[in-house]
Structure 1
Amino acid sequence: MTDGERGEETDSGREGSRSDHRPATDGYDEPVARVDPERDLRGIVTWEPRSRYDAICVAICRAYRLAVRAARAAILVVAILVFSTPLILTVVVGLEEPVAGAFVLLSTLPAFAAVGAIWYAGDPVREPLGPLVVTFLLGTLAAGFAGIVNGLADTVFLLGPFVAVFVAPPVEECAKLVAVRLYAYRTPKFNAVIDGAVYGAVAGLGFAVAENAGYVLFDPEVQLAALARAFAAPGHVLYTALTGYYLGLARYNSEYRGPILLKGLSIVILVHAAYNAAVSSVGLWALALDGIVLVVLVRKLRRYRAAYREAYGAEPTPLTADPTPDGVREAMDERCEG
């Protein structure tokens, strides 16, 4: 056997042993360690606590991790309290003024209708109630966050139209997207591209309900405010549903996750900004922008539903935790791309 053949045999033996030993994350796939994993190589290529000082270092790191988790939890609690304060005040006012509260509910009916249309048009399998409720509540918190940021921006710039066009759209659309990303996106129930549109619509609904309540309850002209908000509320549902669709598309196309999400979010922000700019000048004609978003969104939902039926060969059936095997997922991605 030549030296070259002997080297190739050694390399192949090492590669073959790679899967037989511990994963690379604990040092046992290091070139020296993988030849003889039973050899004690502590301090050379591996490490484990043995001395008292080692144990102290481990304890300090564990305490640090616990402190970080506690700090994150504290920040989350404070954020929830801060962002929910406007919502709580709104609920209190609504209970004290039941007539105004009724107008708030009436003003959100178009938004509820928009969610129902999206759910009916696109979702092959109905989502469980739990994640939907949590996403709705996170949407209301997003409205509280956006209200605080927009209010601060209005104080700084002293130009309402400027804030409405250049500040509110990116703040609100990003906040609603985070409402989907924080919980529903992380659950096993978010298991298809279409789920992004559904949860996005629900987050937009929560946002619209909280925002409408803030506008209607604190406006002396309750009826006019309710009418105005009834036309504005569906936009939040449609915009976040479209962004959510791109979020779902990005989830299953990890190589282009960033560009996909940037594309969807930027389109929605531009449409939202155009709507805010147009509504003050052309009034209800600005709703044409919402109509365009609705057409685009329904087209995507129908293409997804058609791809789903084609892939599974029949009417939609309940999805498992991973509803799209590789071959099916490729077929669906081809139909849903764009």
Structure 2
Amino acid sequence: MARDERDPVAARSADSEDLYGVADWEVRTAFDRLVYWLYYGFYLTVRVGVVLAAVAILAAQFVLGGLGAVSNPVLGALTILSAVPALALAVYVWHADVTTQEPLHLLVVTFVLGVLFASFAGVLNGEIGDPVRNLASLGGAVPLLGSVVFFYVVVGPVEETVKLLAVRLFAFRSDRFDAVVDGAVYGAVAGLGFATIENALYITQDADAGLQAARAVTEAGGVAVVRGLAGPGHVIYSAFAGYYLGLAKFNREHAGPIVLKGLVIAAFVHATYNTLVGIVPDVVTTLTGVSPLVAFFGFVVVYDSVFGLLLIRKIRAYARAYRAANPAPATYESERTEFES
């Protein structure tokens, strides 16, 4: 039995009884309209301000940080190609949604916000990361420890939070976000946006370093291959966090802990990847003699496969529950009469 969340007076009173200002409220007076518009005007201003701040930071990266090099046709093509594996995974998550398909405009906005909010992660990782890394490494005495703490305390939580913000700010508020699994879809798209702009930053950094054109393109090509392998991870991590955001939307009584659970899972998986990717391939190369690129490729495929399959398992579990709760109507073929051949 659903719990009535209304005040006891409102719940037990006749619908015709006027309880305005007593146990119920609606926009009725001029003052009500004033405070209503003040509240939502402030809320809208904050939302728009967050987006504009992200745009400003991204613009600064284009002007000062080298992202403008992506306008080079070759580097631009490499950036697009590097995002293809992540795009394929995001499309799979979208296709696996057994409920109504999400509208294109919400997907596009979420992707764009994922791109924009990556700039917040860049700033925070730099401003918070250096002091944390220095402190955790005991002043540089134990660099590996500093990096591990940096990944788990800064990179994972910051990047997964900004990607989830890209979903929460717009798509989450839409009526079309009408199922738990929609959170995974929008989370995957936000991760795709984040991965795309991150790839662009990595690919163009050598071009911005003053390398000769031919060498810069060669270096960028190698980086594009590596980033193409790393990109799907962002989709997987944020799809997990997005799924729990969807779960929170429809379980408001425990919304806070549910969202936190999703963020912790995503941040932990993300940070673990960042930690191991710098260790495992080197160990594999040392023990087996395979090339570093092959070792890296093998590690990424195995790691992403494990958590990608866990994500697929969760989405399929939702699909089974959805079909069980919404069985397809049975169709019956009418019996033929003796006059029909």
Quickly name the TM-score band, shorter chain normalised.
0.7 to 0.9
- How far did 1:76 drift? 3.5
TM-score, length-normalised on structure 1? 0.72
C-alpha separation in 2, matches of 1:74 and 1:273: 30
| Pair 1:104 & 2:79 matched | yes
Q: Deviations over 1:62-87 (max 9, x none)?
A: 89658846853673364133333256
Kept after mapping to 2: 8 A contact 1:145/1:175: yes
Given that residues 197 and 240 in structure 1 are in contact (C-alpha distance below 8 angstroms), is that contact kept between their aligned partners in structure 2? yes
Alignment map for 1:128-277 (pairs within 5 Å): 128-157=103-132, 161=147, 162-219=149-206, 220=216, 221-277=219-275
- Separation (CA, whole Å) in 2 of partners of 1:62 and 1:15: 24
Name the CA distance, whole Å, in 1 between partners of 2:306 and 2:117: 25
Residue 298 of structure 1 is matched in structure 2 by 312
Q: How many angstroms apart in 1 are the aligned matches of 2:40 and 2:187? A: 33
CA contact (8 A) 1:271 1:289 kept: no
Distance 1:197 1:145 in 2: 22
**CA shift in 2, pair 1:28/1:21, >3 Å:** farther
Secondary structure of the 1:19 match is coil
Deviates more, 1:158-167 or 1:226-235: 158-167
Q: Would the alpha carbon gap of residues 17 and 60 (structure 1) be closer, same or farther in structure 2, given more than 3 Å must change?
A: closer
1:170 counterpart letter in structure 2: P
Shifted more, 117-126 versus 74-83: the winner is: 74-83
Q: Which runs of 5+ in 2 are unaligned?
A: 1-8, 135-145, 207-215, 282-295, 330-341
| Structure 1 residue ranges without an equivalent (≥5) | 1-12, 30-47, 50-54, 316-338
Shift of 1:127: 1.1
CA distance in 1, matches of 2:88, 2:113: 20
Q: 1:67-106 counterparts in 2 under 5 A?
A: 68=42, 72=46, 75-76=49-50, 78-85=52-59, 88-89=62-63, 92-95=68-71, 97-106=72-81
Deviations 1:270-295 (A, max 9, x none): 11111110000113325433222211
1:210, distance to aligned residue in structure 2 (A): 0.7
CA apart distance, 1:146 = 0.5
Question: Partner amino acid for 1:237?
Answer: V
Q: Would the alpha carbon gap of residues 86 and 139 (structure 1) be closer, same or farther in structure 2, given more than 3 Å must change? A: farther
Q: Which amino acid aligns with 2:76?
A: G
Contact 1:123–1:198 under 8 Å retained in 2:
no
- Cα separation, 2, equivalents of 1:202 and 1:186: 16
Contact 1:83–1:142 at 8 Å: present in 2 too?
no
Quote the RMSD (CA, aligned, Å): 3.2
Task: Among all aligned residue pairs of Structure 1 and Structure 2, give the percentage whose two residues are the same amino acid.
Answer: 41
Change (3 A) 1:173 1:26: same
Cα shift at 1:177: 0.5
- Equivalent-residue separation in structure 1 for 2:193 and 2:100 (angstroms): 22
Q: Measure, in 1, the Cα distance between the counterparts of 2:35 and 2:250.
A: 35
Which whole-Å CA distance do the structure 2 matches of 1:156 and 1:225 have between them?
A: 28
For residue 290 of structure 2, what is the aligned residue in structure 1?
none
Partner of residue 19 from structure 1, selected from 15, 18, 26: 15
Q: What CA distance in whole angstroms lies between the structure 1 residues aligned with 2:119 and 2:88?
A: 23
Residues 101 and 259 of structure 1: CA distance in aligned 2, closer, same or farther (over 3 Å): same
1:270 partner SS: helix
Q: 1:105 offset after TM fit, Å?
A: 1.1
Q: How many residues align?
A: 278
